[in-house]
Amino acid sequence: MASAAAVAHLLFALFFSVQVVQNKANWGVTYAADKICASNGSTVEMKCTYTYPAGYTVTEEFWCFQDNKNLKVNSDYKDRIQYNCTKERCTMKMADLKWTDSREYRFRFITDKSDGKYTGIPGITLSVTALQVEVTKIRVNESCTKAELKCKSSCTGDVSYVWLKNGEKVTEENPHITSLRFNDSICCALKGQEDYCSASLYAPKLPSVTVSPSGEIVENISVILICSSDAN
Ligand SMILES: *[C@@H]1O[C@H](CO)[C@@H](O)[C@H](O)[C@H]1NC(C)=O
Ligand SMILES: *[C@@H]1O[C@H](CO)[C@@H](O)[C@H](O)[C@H]1NC(C)=O
Ligand SMILES: *[C@@H]1O[C@H](CO)[C@@H](O)[C@H](O)[C@H]1NC(C)=O
Ligand SMILES: *[C@@H]1O[C@H](CO)[C@@H](O)[C@H](O)[C@H]1NC(C)=O
Ligand SMILES: *[C@@H]1O[C@H](CO)[C@@H](O)[C@H](O)[C@H]1NC(C)=O
């Protein structure tokens, strides 16, 4: 049977561990997203807010990799990133995304006291992707092409796509779309990045025939007939 002393000890231990958790909770970084998927060449914003205990003054705030070095001193990044840090929130805008930017980004801040340094781990994982339209089903006849298309990226998890038909956003289910007519040109983009659409896909154009030489043709001469269409 537990003695009063043991219970008291347990209560003390519980109290103490709660104190520790609360203390630790004072240092923190909260990211707006843990994963970001973005198109090659586009621009993204990585956002976070942070907290620290009273009695400290923040002297430095920056984004970094595992090495804790400010990306502003990294020659691959310094000209493509911009910080906007005010009042316990810090956003990094990164432009001209490349494949090699696909990695984890962390936010770190440093205070005036030597025990006052903190990095938010894990950070934000960025995936830079190219988008591709894949034809999953197609039915073609003289007057109509109907297809089912799928938007593909290398990003994992919940990715939202939008479709643009002849330059206009269409409301169709993600990531599939159906119904494509002869003269429709269609591409897909990541939601929020409509300016970075995939290569356009369009159904075969109605074939046309050209004859050469053109004009009046007499019996027994040779002619060349060219049948042409276009699609991708
Ligand atoms: C990625 O973007 C770069 C720069 O915009 C471009 O040169 C390259 O062709 C793109 N690659 C793909 C696969 O889209
Ligand atoms: C910086 O962020 C604040 C809000 O957090 C915003 O009002 C301001 O316009 C931003 N500045 C720049 C240069 O983006
Ligand atoms: C072509 O397909 C469309 C849509 O499926 C259909 O309405 C139309 O009757 C078809 N036309 C011919 C000539 O088969
Ligand atoms: C596509 O064809 C339809 C009818 O066949 C026509 O009304 C429309 O203007 C065409 N659109 C383009 C972009 O050519
Ligand atoms: C065309 O060729 C056929 C077979 O060689 C011949 O029978 C016919 O007379 C020719 N016509 C003319 C107008 O030369």
Q: How far is the CA of 182 from the centre of ligand 3 (A)?
A: 12
Work out the mean pLDDT of the chain and round it to a whole number: 85
Q: Whose CA is nearest to atom 13 of ligand 3?
A: 142
Q: What is the pLDDT of residue 167?
A: 85
Q: pLDDT tens digit string along 171-195?
A: 766 667 666 665 678 899 998 899 9
Residues 192 and 186: their CA atoms lie apart, in Å, by 17
Q: pLDDT tens digit string along 43-64?
A: 999 999 999 999 999 999 999 9
Q: What is the pLDDT of residue 136?
A: 86
> CB-based contacts of 198: which residues, under 8 Å, 6+ apart?
130, 131, 132, 133, 151, 187, 188, 189
State percent of the chain over pLDDT 90. Answer: 55
Q: What is the pLDDT of residue 14?
A: 45
Q: What is the pLDDT of residue 13?
A: 46
Question: Does residue 135 have a pLDDT over 90?
Answer: no
Which atom of ligand 1 is closest in space to residue 130's alpha carbon?
Answer: 14
pLDDT band at 66 (very low <50, low <70, confident <90, very high): very high
Tell me which amino acid residue 169 is. K
What is the Cα 6 distance to its own chain's centre?
A: 54
Q: How far is the CA of 48 from the centre of ligand 4 (A)?
A: 47
Q: Which domains does the chain have, with CATH numbers?
A: 25-129 (2.60.40.10), 132-205 (2.60.40.10)
For the Cβ of 144 lying below 6 angstroms from any atom of ligand 3, the answer is yes
Which atom of ligand 5 is closest in space to residue 220's alpha carbon?
Answer: 1
Q: pLDDT tens digit string along 73-104?
A: 999 999 999 999 999 999 999 999 999 999 99
Question: Does residue 1 have a pLDDT over 70?
Answer: no
Residues 193 and 199: their CA atoms lie apart, in Å, by 14
Which of the pair, 125 or 229, is modelled with greater confidence? 125
Q: How far is the CA of 220 from the centre of ligand 5 (A)?
A: 6
Q: How far is the CA of 89 from the centre of ligand 2 (A)?
A: 10
For the Cβ of 143 lying below 6 angstroms from any atom of ligand 3, the answer is yes
Which atom of ligand 1 is closest in space to residue 41's alpha carbon?
Answer: 5
- DSSP code string of the chain: ---HHHHHHHHHHHHHHHHHHHHHHTSEEEES-SEEEEETT--EEEEEEEE--TT--EEEEEEE-TT---GGG-TTTTTTEEEEEETTEEEEEE-S--GGG-SEEEEEEEESSTT-EEE-SS-EEEEEE--EEEEEEEEE-SS-EEEEEEEE-S--S---EEEEETTEEE---SSEEE---TT-EEEEEETT-TTS----EEPPPPPEEEEES-S---TT---EEEEE----
Question: Does residue 9 have a pLDDT over 60?
Answer: no
Q: What is the pLDDT of residue 21?
A: 40
Q: How far is the CA of 84 from the centre of ligand 2 (A)?
A: 6
pLDDT band at 198 (very low <50, low <70, confident <90, very high): very high
Q: What is the pLDDT of residue 53?
A: 93
